[in-house]
Amino acid sequence: MTGHGRSSGDPWLVAGALGVAGLLALHSAVPNGVGRLGSLLETFLPWLGAVVPVLGCLALLGRSRAGLLACLAPVAVWLWMFGGMWWSSALGPYDLTVVQHNVADDNTDPTGTARALRATGAGLVAVQELTPTARPVYENVLGASHPHRAVHGTVGLWSAHPVSDVRPVDIRPEGFPDSWRRGLRATVSAPGGRIAVYVVHLPSVRLGPAGLASAARDESAALLGDRIAADPAARLLVVGDLNGTVRDRGLGPLTSRLHAPPRGFAFSWPAGLPVARIDQVLGRGVKVTEVSALEATGSDHLPVLGRVLLR
């Protein structure tokens, strides 16, 4: 039978489209107790939108009007959630630029990476996975343009502006050794005023048969969140590899205290085919107006450039 009959695929297409819309809008309702499924979904949340064109094509092939109409629901929800990050517009004012990069401890071209970071012209350069062998390379390449620096363990900050009050920040989860040093705090005297800058690298997460293993990262994020809450600085930046996106509820104890940039997807990992931004530039008392991903270096991450307006 052809013509006016309802397509046999209508219920499945409608259910699929409404299911995508529901997952987008109600992602926080997905439980995290088993395999941290909620965090896994939130890590790749924007990519749920990629299902809609597939459903739309199936609806066209099946001549399903109901399926096509149902696809409007996830499109509307996706645009509501991510449209502001997608649309391009003229850059607004900003006072400070910062480039964030996990330079990778197995990077075979630290000189090229350091030169690429210098070429951004950013006033602040924050790095993670800085090895003792590579550190002199970054000092040599960045020294002239960024004469002020702070290094603790495997994280470092190079600044074109004076740096003072440098302190280590202990964000070790329980059981991690004293040699695990992935956090520092420094005060930067930027042209628009003094600002506290945290450079951090949270523990890695792993995806396996049991789901997302992120307990250590989540614990570290909570420790950092407590530190941020107690910090009296009026203006503050957190820059680093958080091994998670800003929507990942596992980072909630930290990200709930900070403001994320409203523009720019800036997917930073993995460098070969970036699908998530786990390298972050977040603020409190300042406005990070935009982030953008830069060209690949010798790392498995892309550098991320943030523009900061000091209120």
User: pLDDT tens per residue, the chain (311 residues)?
Assistant: 444 555 566 889 999 999 999 999 999 999 988 888 999 999 999 999 999 999 999 999 988 999 999 999 999 999 999 987 766 555 678 999 999 999 999 999 999 999 999 999 999 999 999 999 999 999 999 999 999 999 999 999 999 999 999 999 999 999 999 999 999 999 999 988 999 999 999 999 988 777 788 999 999 999 999 999 999 999 999 999 999 999 999 999 999 999 999 888 999 999 999 999 999 999 999 999 999 999 999 999 999 999 999 97
What does the longest C-alpha to C-alpha distance in the chain come to? 78
> Residue 159: what are its φ and ψ, rounded to 5°?
-135, 140
Enumerate the domain spans of the chain: 10-86, 96-310
Using alpha carbons only, give the angle 80, 81, 86 rounded to the nearest 5 degrees. Answer: 90
Question: d(Cα 297, Cα 108) in Å, to the nearest integer?
Answer: 10
Using alpha carbons only, give the angle 289, 294, 295 rounded to the nearest 5 degrees. Answer: 170
Burial environment of residue 298 by CB neighbours within 10 A (0 to 12, 13 to 18, 19 or more)? middle
Q: Which CATH class is domain 96-310?
A: alpha beta
Q: What residue type is 287 in one-letter code?
A: K
Q: Whats the size of the chain, residue-wise?
A: 311
Residue located via tokens 């990050």: 85
pTM for the whole structure: 0.92
